[in-house]
A and B are shown apart, each in its own frame.
Chain A
Amino acid sequence: MKRSNGQALPKARKNDLVTRQIPGELLVYDLKRHRAYCLNDAAAAVWKSCDGKLTVSELAAKLESDQKSPVDEKIVWLALDQLEKFCLLQTKATKPLGLPPISRRSLVRAGIATAIALPIVTMIAVPTAQAAGTPVTQAVCQGRHQSDLGGCGITSPCSDVPTTKCINGPGNTCKCG
């Protein structure tokens, strides 16, 4: 979505996502990439408001009225940066020229993060079924699981140490030997 001045407006991605709202957080699962995200309230509010019609200033104003506390545009940009990085935007917003990189630390230092919690998006990669189970034997690794992405053929703790295999080390940890 674009304004007449050519400015792209952020639009949340909706396809191939499963969402689940829990108190204070929004869980999002990306069915294409098999990544799961946890958006805190601030990040979720920005994401939900990205309808492709609002500019960043309008988004900030909307959040301000929703949350009844001042919201700096930089907070919206911080959320949009993360949402874009994790492929949760269908259309990303055009950044104004000269806008410096925004980090959580810089916002805290500038005192912007006092009124509203900073937007945080946390991501995990969801494993294959095989990777989520214990490879009880070396034979399992050599069997059908080996070729699976994230299977023990790839994630074996000793796979990057040639000619070694995983043996039991101190505290039941893996030791390459």
Chain B
Amino acid sequence: MINFEKVFKRYPGNLDALQNINLEILPAELVFVTGPSGAGKSTLLKLISSVEKPTSGTIVFENMNLSQLQPRDIPYLRRKFGMIFQDNKLLYDRNCFENVSLPLAINDIDGIDINRRVRAALDKVGLLNKEKIMPISLSGGEQQRLAIARAIVSRPSILIADEPTGNLDKEYADEIMNIFYSFQQVGVTVIISTHELPITPIKFKKIHLIGGELNNQINNVQLLS
């Protein structure tokens, strides 16, 4: 599904964020990108979702070479991903319903379908009763759940979450992780960057980065054995 081949990412000032990355992510996989701060976890996720362009190397997603993508094609590619950010990037001048409906409006979905799908997404994350509330009045965990609802409302095949539990206490973090696991169980590829590997019985792949380099790429099946 996603293939990285000899991928380098260098930012101005000769900072190599990623060096010689080779990896493969399969459909419906649960992937954890781990590593300390500055290891290149966020950069890796940005390269997958075409928020950043690799300096060299090839990234292939569904037979598309993302390195050679024309700028006009990028918005259409991004619609295939559901993205969740550490700071959740909610729009605080719009209520929960309007925040979640934004990707559907971008995808030219009609009004009746928008209502139905937004309510389904809010229901999935347990916020259906708060659709008219402004995000500022939600707790940290609820805000992150709202961000998840926005990411899943357009039914993406890949969910990408950049440290989604970074600002949450353990109880909220477990709640959020369980939502991600439930999506993976129904066939969605879930890629999560995190400082610490969560404890889960579900089969997952771990991509560990140190200083921009791939330390190892192992499955928890191997870890357990």
A binds B: no
